[in-house]
Amino acid sequence: MTDEKNEKQVLHEVTSGEYKYGFFTNIEADQAPKGLSEDIIRFISAKKNEPEWLLEFRLKAYRHWLTIEEPDWALLHHPPIDYQDIIYYSAPKKKKELSSLDEVDPELLDTFNKLGISLEEQKHLAGVAVDAVVDSVSVKTTFQDTLKKHDIIFCSFSEAVQDHPDLVKKYLGSVVPYTDNYFAALNSAVFTDGSFCFIPKGVRCPIELSTYFRINAANTGQFERTLIVAEEGGYVSYLEGCTAPMRDENQLHAAIVELIALDNAEIKYSTVQNWYPGDKNGKGGIYNFVTKRGLCKGNSSKISWTQVETGSAITWKYPSCILLGDNSVGEFYSVAVTNNFQQADTGTKMQHLGKNTRSTIISKGISAGQSNNSYRGMVRVGKRAENARNFSQCDSLLLGDKCGAHTFPYIKTNNPTAIVEHEATTSKISDDQLFYCQQRGIDMEKSIGLIVNGYAKDVLNKLPMEFAVEAQKLLAITLEGSVG
């Protein structure tokens, strides 16, 4: 059958797009020696001029990390990670304090331009404040003036430690304690920078805040930490993007994101993750082990996670919500795309503790090539969570006959008034849909693109406008080669 052959060929073409962000910027970096020890932690802490309590926190985390083992329950296979072969601190060399965009290293600006996030353009046109993190150190935050007017604090984590130590001390580790898991302990010990955002009482953040993470230097790990606090009635929408250059070795990324929403506050956290996934033969790529958790501490608070995961050789990530306040709401929308030899084990955890808490989970997995894509999620309804409501839908789409799609939902219900529903389907693109499109003169390649985009629409719609555009493009690059 020529048609079948054709289809296979197109599928092959659309699933063999190459990584387009694989450039390497030659920025001079200030690095720590390889390896991990208490001395390295002291070195990082000293470099960043940190107060004593933070060093203590790091050391406690490190000592705890030494006592625990790497988790092996995820459906992931990788050679053992040598934690002594990683550079835990790498910063672009700073010449002096920067006060305007013009002073930012032009090569760095160029990097951002290649990424399609021109700071300049976004500053004027999109009204997005960007905090860019390259190799663990936050470079520049735009739009400080507008934010200042509203008393919003948005700065790099190191600045926050210097300028707002009380706030950091109060909330750091309150959602993800260093004892939480192996990678959280590692991050707590060696985190270098990240973003800090504080929305005071009753303030709606007028612009969308954004951070770009990028791993640049070879052999470095990126360990950033994001902390967002929204006080009573506050609102913020936060965007996070990630990219890394092509390298043969595997690089490690172990981040922590903590969100705290007090009464009536809302936090919307969107991620487009496009770390280098490794080449077509599965060589290289980022190991992405991330702990993300939001705490709906106050009544009627809301936390919403949206993620588009297209990159990384390995993704191990479960953005979760603890619904502690009464009437609080948790949401999780995810599109995870894996291709070639990528492996993703991602999902969420919804812990219903307060009364009338609601959560929604929409997860769309797309696997192609020889990749494996798993959804792993847990919905737990505590004893006091009256009238808790959850709806989960996890769909998997298989492109090609060598890939795998897996679903591991855990539902634990401890209250009779709870209503919990879970649905999942696994299938390939239906021949009827393809036929329907082609019959109307759309070629095979475009049809697949159309169907895949339509499939992921539920989630893409939840992304802020410009991220949605970028996410669609990313879907196209990761999956579709030339298909738009």
Partner 1 sequence: MNKTKQTYYPLEEALIEEYGKKAAAWTEDELPGISKLRHEAMREFRKTGFPGNKLEKWRSTDMEPVYQEPLSVFTDEITYDKKIDEIFQCDVHGFQARVLSLLNGSYYGPEESQLTVSPEGVIAGSLLAAQREYPELVEQFYGKAKTAVADGFKSANKAMARDGVFIYVPDGVEVKDTFQLIKILNKKGLMVHTRNLIVLGKNTKLTFLHCDDSVNHHEGFINTLSEVFIGENSELELYKLQNLNDETALVNQTVVHQAANSRLKVNVMTLNGGLVRNEIVDQMDGEGAWSDINGLFLIDKEQHVDNQVYVYHNVPHCESNQLFKGVLDEQSLGVFNGFVYVAPDAQKTNAFQQSSNILLSRDAHIDTMPQLEIYADDVKCSHGATVGQLDSDALFYLMQRGISFEDARMLLMYAFADEVLGQISIEPLRVNIEDMVKRRLRGELSICDRCVLHCSHPDKPIEFDIDLSKI
- Which stretches of the chain bind partner 1, using CB under 8 A? 73, 75, 383, 396, 398-428
CB of 349 to partner 1, least distance (A): 14
CB of 28 to partner 1, least distance (A): 47
CB of 361 to partner 1, least distance (A): 12
**Smaller CB separation from partner 1, 48 or 380:** 380
Q: 320-323 and 250-253 as β-strands: parallel, antiparallel, unpaired?
A: unpaired
Cβ proximity of 383 and 362 under 8 Å:
no
Smallest gap, in angstroms, from Cβ of residue 322 to partner 1?
19
CA 483 to chain centre: 25
Tokens of 197: 């955002």
As a whole number of angstroms, the distance between CA 255 and CA 226 comes to: 8
The minimum distance between CB 98 and partner 1, in angstroms, equals: 50
| Minimum separation from the CB atom of position 54 to partner 1 (A) | 34
Least distance from partner 1 to the Cβ atom of residue 75, Å: 8
Burial class (CB in 10 A: 0-12, 13-18, 19+), 182: middle
d(CA 278, CA 341): 8
DSSP assignment letter at 92: E
Tokens of 397: 């789409």
What gap in Å lies between CA 100 and CA 80, rounded to an integer? Answer: 44
Sequence-distant (6+) residues with CB within 8 A of 427 are 396, 397, 398
Closest CB to partner 1 among residues 241, 409: 409
- Closest of 229, 228, 224 to residue 242, by C-alpha: 224
Please, which residue, 309 or 395, has the CB nearer to partner 1? 395
CA distance 293 to 178: 13
Nearer to partner 1, 322 or 418 (CB): 418
Of 125 and 419, nearer to partner 1 (C-beta) is 419
- Comparing CB distances to partner 1, the nearer of 174 and 426 is 426
Closest CA relative to residue 376, chosen from 345, 422, 400, 351? 345
- Smaller CB separation from partner 1, 427 or 461: 427
